[in-house]
Structure 1
Amino acid sequence: MAKLYPYIYSDDAKYQAEFYAKALDGEIIMLKTFAELPQQNAKMELIKDKVMHLRLKVAGQIFFMSDSVNEPVRRGNGLDLTLEFEREEEARKAFEGLADGGTVLMPFAKQFWGSMSGMVVDPFGIRWQIATEL
């Protein structure tokens, strides 16, 4: 059995992870910078304070994050991160937290298939769908 972990590359992974921890009532459980790598060179000195790997636990899920150091971050519309909650209150709180400073694509509301659902692009350009179980 495998586990699937979203891996989010960021211009500022620590700041973005702190936003998610607040918005989704979670915590950063591990953070490693490039300065912690055993092998160092001149390039490493330039990126020593950047996040090499971060583990974030939110909504009972683990997300990996890292600063993008080799190329600029480009977001697209080919993938949404979806969180499904048991209770409407949890889902609404997560939706509102992610929408703070972001853009609501579809308001959080009762859908014809029976669940509450909404879509939002957070302030970092990540598209989320927040829903309740049927």
Structure 2
Amino acid sequence: MKLYSYLSFNGNCDAAFKFYEQVLGGKSGDRMTYGASPMADQVPEGWHDKIMHAQLTIGEQEIMGADSTLEYYEEPKGTSVLINIEDAGEAERIFEALAENGTVKMPIQETFWAARFGMLVDQFGTPWMINCDRAG
């Protein structure tokens, strides 16, 4: 069994996944627009270039996502994508990059459980937690 994070976007999935690919060092995988799908004739006007499905591989992990039409889109609540990183400097780099034009909920810092931990919502509305465990 595998578990994946599947992210919903309000029309900016393509930009978000290009950003995540750059920041996280991922490799873009499957990507389909609504206009290239078998249901292209049922898509709302202006949505043919929006993403119906996108995949990004980061190491051995994957995240997926899509643009949700306005009647189905809901802002994420009660969940976050957690990135656990072994290197404190890399944790800070990723945190700062994801926080650009976003909202920091908890600045990245040392905590009683982690060498570095921080929470943010990025410019695309995705909530993230960045964690770097304390050394052994």
TM-score (norm 1): 0.85
Is residue 123 from structure 1 mapped to residue 136 from structure 2 by the alignment?
no
Partners of 1:24 and 1:97 within 8 A in 2: no
Distance 2:97 2:118 in 1: 13
Number of equivalenced pairs: 132
Per-residue CA deviations over 1:90-129 (Å, capped at 9, x if unaligned) read 2111101110111111111111124310111111222111
Is residue 53 from structure 1 mapped to residue 47 from structure 2 by the alignment?
no
Identity %: 32
Residue identity opposite 2:90 in structure 1: E
Q: Measured at CA, do residues 40 and 22 of structure 1 come closer, stay the same or move farther in structure 2, by a change above 3 Å? A: closer
Shift of 1:75: 1.8
- Where structure 1 has 5 or more consecutive residues not aligned to the other structure, the ranges are none
Partners of 2:88 and 2:115 within 8 A in 1: no
Q: Measured at CA, do residues 76 and 122 of structure 1 come closer, stay the same or move farther in structure 2, by a change above 3 Å? A: same
Partners of 1:24 and 1:59 within 8 A in 2: no
Provide the alpha-carbon RMSD of the alignment.
2.0
User: What pairs up with 1:76-115 in 2 under 5 angstroms?
Assistant: 76-115=76-115
Q: Which runs of 4+ in 1 moved over 4 A?
A: none
Per-residue CA deviations over 1:33-67 (Å, capped at 9, x if unaligned) read 122223543x2373322211100123652111111
Distance 2:15 2:118 in 1: 24
Distance 2:72 2:38 in 1: 25
